[in-house]
């Protein structure tokens, strides 16, 4: 069951790296949007690569220390909790709106 997992992880990481390099966040090119056309300026490759590497490790979780993994899990938990809260509030608002606009509730509202 464990056989081949290293190769699969390596392949997945390499495909993520290829996707990331093809995206607008290329580590050696910084695009600044101007009023007419975008202007490309090069940054120092080492600093740009380190920013790119850090963002990729935070995104995938690969290469993080145990403390960084715990912090990442905590941050992901907070994001999930916020999304769940917003979804619940949306459902609650929809439920209240729909329950007061139904024909059966119109007779109840008239009695109140």
Domain ranges across the chain:
1-63, 66-112
Query: CA 93 to CA 60: how far, in whole Å?
Result: 35
Predicted local distance difference test score (pLDDT) of residue 92: 95
Tokens of 88: 């619940």
Share of the chain above pLDDT 70, in %: 52
Sequence-ordered alpha helix ranges (H) in 23-65: 45-60
Query: Do residues 48 and 28 make contact, with C-beta atoms less than 8 angstroms apart?
Result: yes
Q: Over the stretch 71-81, which tens digit does the pLDDT of each residue have?
A: 999 999 999 99
Predicted local distance difference test score (pLDDT) of residue 76: 94
Residue with tokens 């009023």: 35
Q: Over the stretch 50-86, which tens digit does the pLDDT of each residue have?
A: 999 999 998 898 988 999 999 999 999 999 999 999 9
């Amino acid at each position: 069951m464990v056989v081949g997992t290293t190769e699969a992880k390596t392949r997945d990481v390499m495909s993520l790296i290829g996707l990331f390099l093809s995206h607008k966040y290329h580590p050696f090119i910084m695009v600044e949007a101007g009023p007419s056309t975008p202007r490309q300026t090069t940054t120092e490759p080492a600093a740009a690569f380190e920013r790119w590497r850090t963002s990729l490790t935070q995104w995938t979780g690969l290469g993080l220390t145990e403390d960084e993994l715990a912090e990442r899990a905590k941050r992901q938990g907070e994001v999930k909790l916020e999304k769940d809260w917003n979804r619940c509030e949306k459902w609650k608002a929809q439920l209240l709106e729909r329950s007061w606009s139904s024909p059966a509730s119109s007779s109840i509202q008239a009695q109140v």
